[in-house]
Amino acid sequence: MLKACYIWHLTLAAVLVAVSITLAAAQSPQALLVDKGGRVLTDPTVSAIYVGDYWNTSQGLADQAHIDAFLPAWLKGLSVTAVLSQYRVATASFTSSDKVAGAAPFEFTDDDAQALVQQELAAGRIVSGDQAVHVIYLPPGTFLTFLGNSSARKLAGYHASFIGPLTGKRVYYAVVVYNSGTNGLDFNGNPQNNNTIITSRVLSGAFTNPDARQGTAGWIDDVNGEVGDVAFSLSADASLADTFTFQNSFAVVLLWSNKDEKLDAGTATPPPATSTVLSVTPTNPTIAQGASATLTVSNAETATDTLTLAVNQLPANVTATFADTEIAPGASTTLTLTVDAAAASSTSTFTVTGTAGDTTESVAVTLTIGTGGGAAAQADFSLTATPTSQDVIRRGTVTFTVTSAKVGDGEASLIKLKALHVRSALRVSLSTNRMAMGESVTVTVRPTKDAPRKSYEFILKGSSDRADVSIPLTVVVTK
């Protein structure tokens, strides 16, 4: 009989805590992680297990490639070396990834997770070890249930452990939901970003507090939770945009740094942007919401080193992808910036860096996000809501009617719908998730029984074959 060790992570309860302390957090964003004396994984290794046939589809292969690239970058990056190192995590590494074929299960339980890890260990398809953590990735549409909670109620992932029946040793594992829409947590409408945020979240806890409920805890704040919980406890943003950042083009959770007394991903201050060999053209792009643009990154012929490229301090709701991550002297590559449709209009600066040994070259890029720039496709439909804001009492129900209309002379296509940035205090449902242009959808919103009295905004996003259109809807819980 297996003896499970578990801890709640990003469950409904945790998110409700973040909502209820919003005002206090805005005034005093403080935390303190305390070493309770329990085990820390000082040199952890990580393997990935992908469940279901989805991961062999074209989109699934792209999603897996994104995660497989993210894991070694994060494990060797500043989140670990500059933040988790404060809590005795010395080194971390990625060992392997594995796929388990089969139809996507409707529900995945903790018993399923333990059985799957044992199966893959017995078959030698993942690397065992006293400090190994095995991360299970679920396919789209599979709901995770754990201790009575569900990803349908914002359970995004968790880490846990059990005693191996053959070895008698503790086996560490984690489960990550395919976080999208109303399954798990949806930070910015991009499942790839959502899944790397949650992966960094559960792994940071698995490293620093692996035996949470079995024996003595490791590093934890008695009020705000583990090193990756703190960002959610202190969040003052309805969309949770203040809980993560972008590091080396990947979305990662912000971790609490005792040393610096702040949330951080270990993002180092970029060196002065005075490189004589690295260049970016243009250095001041303007990109519309929902659009992308391509920049040229070059290494001068006079350079002596091949540079490894990265992006630092990228603004929220923007992703960056290099065609090549290394460029030799005299070579160039492209950097594609993609701005989410829900991104706010703003101007900010990020850096493109090239490293070779102890040498770092850096170029500052000023990005303007706004509807006036970029190459976004002209939307072929519009969305209007009646009303756009409503008051509601706890456990009450309100509805919005959202109507689409065709724009232009092109051929009409179906519109796919999803609700984004829905806080855990609300239950949002759609009468349909697909509609033809000219039709309407009813959006039903019901606050939970203990929803804090405040204003909540969420986004209804419609996607056609040509473009995305998003409209904000607001619910004010009055009593």
pLDDT in tens, 320-343: 888 888 999 988 888 888 887 767
Are both 216 and 356 inside the same structural domain? no
> Which pLDDT tens digit goes with each residue over 415-464?
888 887 787 888 899 999 888 888 999 999 999 888 888 877 788 888 88
Helix (H) or strand (E) holding 5: strand 4-6
> Which pLDDT tens digit goes with each residue over 26-79?
334 578 999 999 999 999 999 999 999 999 998 899 899 989 989 998 998 889
Residue 116, pLDDT score: 97
Contact 22, 237 (CB under 8 A): no
Helix (H) or strand (E) holding 256: strand 255-257
User: What residue numbers bound the domain in which 360 lies?
Assistant: 278-369
Nearest CA-CA partner of 78 in 260, 264, 214, 215? 264
> Which pLDDT tens digit goes with each residue over 251-283?
899 999 998 889 988 754 444 455 788 888 888
Residue 373 pLDDT class (50, 70, 90 cuts):
very low
Does 4 have pLDDT greater than 70? no
Largest CA distance in the chain: 68
Contact 417, 460 (CB under 8 A): yes
Q: What is the CATH number of the domain that holds 452?
A: 2.60.40.2310
Residue 139, pLDDT score: 97
Q: What is the CATH number of the domain that holds 290?
A: 2.60.40.10
Are both 122 and 85 inside the same structural domain? yes
- Structural domain total, the chain: 3
Domain contains 70: yes
Question: Of 241, 264, 287, which residue constitutes the final position of a domain?
Answer: 264
Mean pLDDT of the chain: 83
Average pLDDT over residues 300-319: 83
DSSP 142-192: PEEEETTEEGGGT--EEEEEEE-TTT-SEEEEEEE---BTTBS--SSS-HH
Are both 260 and 346 inside the same structural domain? no
Cα distance between residue 353 and residue 363, in whole Å: 6
Residue 303 pLDDT class (50, 70, 90 cuts):
confident
Residue 24, pLDDT score: 36
Question: Of 264, 290, 320, which residue constitutes the final position of a domain?
Answer: 264
Are both 87 and 164 inside the same structural domain? yes
Are both 113 and 208 inside the same structural domain? yes
Cα distance between residue 364 and residue 346, in whole Å: 16
Contact 233, 18 (CB under 8 A): yes
% of residues, the chain, pLDDT over 90: 42
Are both 213 and 310 inside the same structural domain? no
Are both 191 and 312 inside the same structural domain? no
Does 18 have pLDDT greater than 50? no
